[in-house]
């Protein structure tokens, strides 16, 4: 039996899955690593911590198989997290600056004030925001000595996929795939190439950039990695949310998925051309893979709600209403509805399609009869209702009507939340057997890139549904809820 290794390098830890050709998970490893907060709003990672977590998770996952059975490795990663390392030694020259980091907010504001945002959006599909890699890199290059070394070609820049490829191949591969490149503010998503115009705008020398490669296909082979034989192809690369879209087999334009994690990340496949959003969404590259008629490129619209599972954590840690996140469903089910209570989970502002960083969480409709069960139910409903705003914006921008939504991530296990999401959207919700779809997508891409699976049709047939949720046919109460939700958002 041949196996695919999927390395899912996330924000707080690394997961490694070992999958066989029938997509049975036969090995699993996980290792957390530390978070570094130099000052408020700043978030960093030590790249040596990340590499150690990858090695530890690999060691845990590989105990069940013979290393000689590994056919390919796929990598998916926390996007936008940025780092610089020394080309000669591989040593990091600065801690990685994490996607959550806000230190470049002033630089982004200055670029907007100078009128650059429309052009940046036209080229990249992105907004000028500290979330993305470009201004993080510019900030690092402003530190003593780094700009000079960068211009001299002594440094390498990359997102986490680049760094792991470098380490796994002993420095032979300095690459990134199109999905990660499309999140840097430096990449022209129509030409699928680094943009000289954007490099000049942010003061980034081309010499430090990785080569951009497709998401599927061998980019190098392992060398000198403890526990892994030399010569294993690294054949799948994708940022985590694009990997989840691929792992959910959302191969047809109009297909969409939602990952319920700390936040909620929604992507819709929009086909072979980028769709410019008029609703505050992002346009991104979904994947680039070999196809029967040449290279296939797919684009996506993306919208993110900053808070999803984190709202449940607030009930636990901030209010003490529950002792563990898993208790919320049982508590919420003790009441038939939220009793008129609505919670807008704008604890970190409102993301797409509103983009109001000044917004704050709001709870409306509280009466003397409101209980902690009503608050629990309102929290779950608020998570679902903010996703309606995003998906309706996607329908408007894409001109496609959503027919179903595939779901994954930790909170997708909550049946009450999934049923309410189906009700308020008015579409079927489908939850797969394997909810770790980011890792699954990386495995899909690696297996395709090495011929383990022949095409997307074969992959689509391997996707297995664990449960589906069908919307209520009584739409009048739903319309009333959506009206009250819009009023609550306006207050927030």
Instruction: Report all structural domains of the chain as residue ranges with CATH numbers, in order of start.
Output: 3-241 (3.30.420.40)
Per-residue confidence (pLDDT) for residue 476, from 0 to 100: 87
Per-residue confidence (pLDDT) for residue 176, from 0 to 100: 96
Per-residue confidence (pLDDT) for residue 459, from 0 to 100: 86
For 7, the enclosing helix (H) or strand (E) is: strand 3-9
Q: Is 0.75 topped by the overall pTM?
A: yes
Per-residue confidence (pLDDT) for residue 409, from 0 to 100: 86
Per-residue confidence (pLDDT) for residue 436, from 0 to 100: 85
**Residue 293's pLDDT band (cuts 50, 70, 90):** low
**pLDDT tens digits, 4-39:** 999 999 888 899 999 988 888 889 999 998 888 998
Q: Specify whether the backbone of 338 is left (phi greater than 0), alpha (psi in -120 to 50) or beta.
A: alpha
Predicted confidence (pLDDT) at residue 301 exceeds the cutoff of 80: yes
**pLDDT tens digits, 310-357:** 888 888 888 888 888 888 999 999 999 999 999 998 887 787 788 777
Q: State the Cα angle at 351 between 320 and 240, rounded to 5°.
A: 85
Predicted confidence (pLDDT) at residue 251 exceeds the cutoff of 70: yes
**Residue 292's pLDDT band (cuts 50, 70, 90):** low
State how far the alpha carbon of 95 is from the alpha carbons of 136, 163, 180, 311, in Å. 11, 12, 19, 29
Judge whether 245 and 267 are in contact, CB under 8 Å. Answer: yes
For the chain, what's the residue count? Answer: 492
Average pLDDT for the chain: 91
Cα 447 to Cα 450: distance, rounded to the nearest angstrom: 5
Q: Specify whether the backbone of 416 is left (phi greater than 0), alpha (psi in -120 to 50) or beta.
A: alpha
Predicted confidence (pLDDT) at residue 423 exceeds the cutoff of 90: yes
Per-residue confidence (pLDDT) for residue 197, from 0 to 100: 96
The fraction of the chain above a pLDDT of 70, given in percent, is 99
Read out DSSP for 464-477? -EEEEE---S-HHH
**pLDDT tens digits, 172-209:** 999 999 999 999 999 999 999 999 999 999 999 999 99
- List strand residue ranges (DSSP E) for 197-245, in order: 211-213, 216-221, 233-239
**Residue 455's pLDDT band (cuts 50, 70, 90):** confident
**pLDDT tens digits, 476-486:** 888 888 899 98
DSSP state of 22: T
User: Dihedral, CA atoms, 162, 164, 167, 171, nearest 10 degrees?
Assistant: -20
């Amino acid at each position: 039996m041949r196996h695919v290794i999927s390395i899912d390098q996330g924000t707080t830890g690394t997961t490694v899955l070992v999958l066989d050709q029938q997509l049975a998970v036969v090995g699993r490893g996980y290792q957390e690593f530390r978070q570094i907060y130099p000052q408020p709003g700043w978030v960093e990672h030590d790249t040596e911590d990340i590499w150690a977590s990858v090695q530890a998770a690999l060691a845990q996952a590989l105990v069940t198989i013979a290393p000689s059975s590994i056919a390919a490795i796929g990598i998916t990663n926390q996007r936008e997290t940025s780092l610089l390392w020394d080309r000669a030694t591989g040593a990091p020259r600065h801690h990685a600056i994490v996607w959550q980091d806000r230190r470049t907010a002033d630089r982004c504001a200055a670029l907007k004030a100078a009128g650059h945002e429309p052009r940046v959006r036209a080229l990249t599909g992105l907004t000028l925001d500290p979330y993305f890699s470009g201004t993080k890199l510019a900030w690092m290059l402003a530190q003593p000595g780094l700009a000079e070394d960068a211009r001299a070609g002594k440094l390498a820049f990359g997102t986490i996929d680049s760094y792991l490829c470098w380490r796994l191949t002993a420095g032979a591969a300095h690459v990134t795939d199109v999905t990660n490149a499309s999140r840097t503010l430096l990449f022209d998503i129509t030409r699928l190439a680094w943009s000289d115009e954007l490099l000049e705008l942010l003061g980034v020398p081309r010499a430090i950039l990785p080569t951009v490669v497709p998401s599927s296909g061998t980019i190098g082979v392992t060398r000198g990695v403890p526990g892994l034989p030399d010569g294993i192809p690294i054949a799948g690369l994708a940022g985590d949310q694009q990997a989840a879209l691929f792992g959910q087999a959302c191969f047809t334009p109009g297909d969409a998925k939602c990952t319920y994690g700390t936040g909620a990340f929604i992507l819709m496949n929009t086909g072979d051309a980028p769709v410019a959003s008029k609703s505050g969404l992002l346009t991104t590259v979904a994947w680039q893979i070999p196809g029967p008629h040449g290279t296939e490129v797919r684009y996506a619209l993306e919208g993110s709600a900053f808070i999803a599972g984190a709202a449940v954590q607030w009930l636990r840690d901030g209010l003490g209403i529950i002792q563990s996140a898993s208790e919320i469903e049982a508590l919420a089910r003790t009441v038939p509805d939220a009793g008129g209570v609505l919670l807008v989970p704008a604890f970190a502002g409102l993301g797409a399609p509103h983009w109001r960083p000044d917004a704050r969480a709001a709870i409306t409709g509280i009466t003397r009869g409101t209980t902690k069960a009503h608050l629990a139910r309102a929290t779950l409903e608020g998570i679902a209702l903010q996703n309606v705003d995003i998906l309706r914006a996607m329908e408007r921008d894409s001109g496609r009507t959503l027919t179903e939504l595939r779901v994954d991530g930790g909170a997708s296990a909550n049946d009450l939340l999934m049923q309410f999401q189906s009700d308020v959207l008015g579409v079927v919700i489908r939850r797969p057997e394997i909810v770790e779809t980011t890792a699954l997508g990386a495995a899909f891409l690696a297996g395709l890139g090495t011929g383990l699976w022949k095409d997307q049709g074969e992959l689509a047939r391997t996707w297995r549904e664990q449960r589906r949720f069908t919307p209520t046919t009584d739409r009048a109460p739903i319309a009333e809820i959506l009206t009250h939700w819009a009023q609550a958002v306006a207050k927030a």
